[in-house]
Amino acid sequence: MTIIINGETKEFNEDITLIEIIKSLQVEDKVMAAAVNMEIVKKDQWNSYTLNNEDKLELLQFVGGG
């Protein structure tokens, strides 16, 4: 299954959840928000939210500045 993550194409097994993708990318401590096909997925849904082939996933992290 193909998922486009922050503009980069990645291959995953079928029936993968959002949290499984985040963990496989080793960014679980950095990701603060996630959007699938331009729709925000609440953090409490990450464990159960299953992605589909060719979904576009944006993983966002907040950066402080001044």
Q: Considering the domain delimited by 2-60, tell me its CATH architecture.
A: Roll (3.10)
pTM over 0.75: yes
Residue 10 reports pLDDT greater than 90: yes
The domain limits of the chain are 2-60
Q: What is the pLDDT of residue 66?
A: 61
Q: What is the pLDDT of residue 4?
A: 98
Q: Kindly report the number of other CB atoms within 10 A of residue 50's CB atom.
A: 11
Residues 4-13 have a mean pLDDT of 96
- For the stretch 11-62, pLDDT in tens is 998 899 999 999 999 998 989 999 999 999 999 999 999 999 999 999 998 7
